Amino acid sequence: MQTRTLGTNGLQVSALGLGCMGLSFGLGPAVEKQEGIALIRAAVEKGVTFFDTAEVYGPWVNEALVGEALEPFRGQVAIATKFGFEIDQVTGTNPGGLNSRPERIRAVAEASLKRLRVEAIDLFYQHRVDPEVPIEDVAGAVKELIEQGKVRHFGLSEAGVQTIRRAHAVQPVTALQSEDSLFWREPELETIPTLEELGIGFVPFSPLGKGFLTGKIDETTTFDPTDFRTVVPRFTPEARKANFALVEVLKALAAAKGATPAQLALAWLLARKPWIVPIPGTTKRHRLEENLGGAALELSAEELQAIDTAASTIRLQGERYPAHLQRLVGR
């Protein structure tokens, strides 16, 4: 597995990371604990050194899973986690609000360190921009944690370009995490040029379009009631039927390379910039191995152009998020 560097302060990670959320939260029933540990450790064996979690995934249970799984590899891997949602500290429920007050950031850091079983958090993201707290105060709080040796790098998730600039002026931002894939290309407009200008790495989550680009989801697919995709407009049966045209294009192009649609989609992301590190998630060992094959797939300039040209002819249907979640994005 090749490595890549996020930001200008030397955070070196594997070219593909592993998004761990779905092992515990958001994509149907959680996997059995030992199964989750085994999958994370299998990723390490395959060369993955970058793992993504958050306190709100569960809440808390995903961080604990990742911490236990990676404890034998302390110092060999980088773990990213996130703060920023309001969580009831007694019941462990997330009422849906945001909270990035400095005292809350400090409390989350202490709790996450314990759950992750590490001495310092490698990358600490603000999960969503909190309009009630100036981003300068957020960046300042993380800067203090970095100075104390409790955090190594500062990140933002789903932030708009002006927020990125303001935060970066207080504490250099190592990475921005946002959704990006052939299924959702909005970051190309303003975000990626801004990151390139400032020397900030980019960590696309849902690089396979929440699983759609694998070709295993169509209009007949049913989701568990706990699966987040049940409320995503782009995943209504009607939208899936229309959007499958993109999958058909990927299938044809992938077949010519002896690859799968998922591998082609990941290789396309990796080829765009040397500081892009996608974090596909999975609960299955064979999907993990398939995804990692995307990191070894090389695409020529002509092949990249063919993918872009073919994808641009398809008008995708359905919004990325329901309205109440979309309001938290890009501020």
Contacts of 269 (CB under 8 A, 6+ apart): 180, 181, 204, 207, 276, 278
Distance of alpha carbon 170 from alpha carbon 180, whole angstroms: 26
> Is 125 a known active-site residue?
no
Cα angle: 208, vertex 12, 181; to 5 degrees: 15
Count other C-beta atoms under 10 Å from residue 27's C-beta: 20
DSSP code for 158: S
Q: Compute the distance between CA of residue 58 and CA of residue 67 in angstroms, rounded to an integer.
A: 14
- In order of 24, 89, 146, the CA distances from 50 in angstroms are 18, 28, 19
User: DSSP secondary structure string, 176-229?
Assistant: EEEE-BTTB-GGGTTHHHHHHHHT-EEEEESTTTTTGGGT---TT----TTBGG
Give how far the C-alpha of residue 13 lies from the chain's centroid of Cα atoms, to the nearest Å: 14
Report the distance separating Cα 150 and Cα 148, nearest Å. 6
Tell me the sheet residues that pair with 27: 227
**How would you classify residue 68: left for phi > 0, otherwise alpha for psi between -120 and 50, otherwise beta?**
alpha
3 φ/ψ angles, rounded to the nearest 5 degrees: -115, 160
8 Å CB contact between 124 and 145:
yes
Q: Where are the beta strands (DSSP E) in 129-232?
A: 154-157, 173-179, 201-205
Q: What is the dihedral of CA 98, 100, 104, 106, to 10 degrees?
A: 140
Of 25, 50, 51, 57, the active-site residue reads 57
Tell me the C-alpha distance between 167 and 7, whole Å.
14
What is the CA 58 to chain-centroid distance, rounded? Answer: 16
Residues acting as catalytic residues: 57
